[in-house]
Amino acid sequence: MSDMIDGAGDDRTANNAVRHQYRLLTEAEKAQVTAIKDAGADFLTLLSGIGSGRELSLAKTKIEEAVFWAVKHVTA
């Protein structure tokens, strides 16, 4: 997808149809968002290496949800 933006950058405000205003993040907040997403990605990668199944699928969904809510906390 060619219209992707940095999830921790200020340009993240450009493609949202629901939320009409965002506050700019501090550099520390941008670093937190990046660290949260990196940790989630690392955990997903770890789980991908141990197999597949319903339990792992649920675990991956919960990791994605945890990342979402943690980022939401930082960016709200």
The model's pTM is 0.74
How far from chain centre, in Å, is Cα 24? 17
- For the chain, strand residue ranges (E) read none
- Listed by start position, the domains of the chain span 26-75
Residue type, 68: F
- pLDDT of 5 reads 61
The span from the CA of 23 to the CA of 57, in Å, is 34
pLDDT digits (tens, 9 = 90+) for 8-67: 666 666 656 666 677 889 999 999 999 999 999 999 999 999 999 999 999 999 999 999
Residue 56 parent element (H or E): helix 54-75
